[in-house]
Amino acid sequence: MSIQATARITAALDGRGVTSLPVLQGDGPLALRRTRDTPGSGARVTVVGAMSAPLGGDRLAIATQVGESARLTVDSAAATVALPGPGGEPATYDIELNVAEGAELRWLPEQLVSAHDSVLRMTTRVRLAPTARLVLREEQILGRHAESTGTLISRLTVHRAGRPLIDQQMTYGPGAPGGWDGAAVLGGHRAVGQLLVVEPGFDEKLPEARLLGETAVLTPLAGPAVLVTALAPDARLLRRVLDEALDELLDAPAG
């Protein structure tokens, strides 16, 4: 039996200028917990998987709204594992993120693991006000230990001030266009990730495009934003590359 579930998060400043969570509504396998705040970073919410999901046929969604000048970090307690369902149907996982003027969202989930024979379509849509800040990390692990990957279709679309900032789709596994695992794409790696940082301060000066080691690159976008794309043989090394890039970008937001 497939599951349909939508979790909702709303962050807003209260009368004291502190980020509160007037809406924190989990659903089905998407349980939400307010966790310890980091000083100066606003509220923090952790997504806790209440059951195995997404299975084939499941329809999951998270809708997040960050109000004016609020600050929110969303992470997860464990990796999300896409598993095959009994009927062979694809699962969907839709994420909607809206960040208002002067607000900041750090979207930092754990890895998404594409298990053998699974099919998952994941869509992340982000809408940013002109002065909003965003840190968004995505990490995909293609197959569990010693198994081949399932099919993963992942699309990221970001609009800032009503204009497109980035719109890209990646497809891996059975049914993907030929060459997805070749030297020009993954080169045999099984961990792939990206880090998107949108920072209004980049309007003054964007960080320059450059390699970050042998299998990662920092690319400035046509807006106050940069995208770090990385490959690695495993999840641990992938996280290290992305964490180092984030630390560097946050320490020097204007380049």
pLDDT reported for residue 191: 96
Distance CA 224, CA 10 (A): 25
pLDDT reported for residue 255: 39
Cis peptide before 207 (omega within 30 of 0): no
Work out the average pLDDT over 74-98. Answer: 93
- By residue range, what is the domain housing residue 240? 4-251
Strand 133-142 to 191-198 pairing: antiparallel
Tokens of 254: 């204007």
Tokens of 172: 């891996």
For the chain, the domain total comes to: 1
Over the stretch 49-61, which tens digit does the pLDDT of each residue have? 766 779 999 999 9
Distance CA 57, CA 92 (A): 8
Distance CA 106, CA 104 (A): 7
